[in-house]
Amino acid sequence: MNVPSPGAVSAQDTQVLGLFLRDVAKMNQDQRNFRVFGPDETVSNLLGAVFEVTNRQWDAREVSNDEFLAPAGRVLTRCSARINAKVGWKAIC
């Protein structure tokens, strides 16, 4: 982001971080060596841009207003961030 002078640009740091994480996730789609770990509130924390290129890894109960869920997503929330030695990451909610 170009900042021509102090106070000339208004931006939110986590929103800029979300764009950065989106780009990193996109660049690592083939290698699959990057994941985002965070709370369930990824969108409300202004990191939702990451969902432009990946989903939440999810293999558990779903409710009607769930969004961005997939068995092989690269975003892990506190419900899904548990390792299972036999199959890798699994949602446990």
Q: The pTM is what?
A: 0.67
Residue 90 has pLDDT above 60, yes or no: no
Query: What amino acid occupies position 51?
Result: F
For 29-82, the pLDDT digits (tens) are 888 888 888 767 788 888 889 999 988 877 777 778 777 777 778 887 765 444
Helix (H), strand (E) at residue 20: helix 13-27
Q: State the pLDDT at residue 85.
A: 47
Closest C-alpha among 86, 81, 89, 83 to residue 39: 81
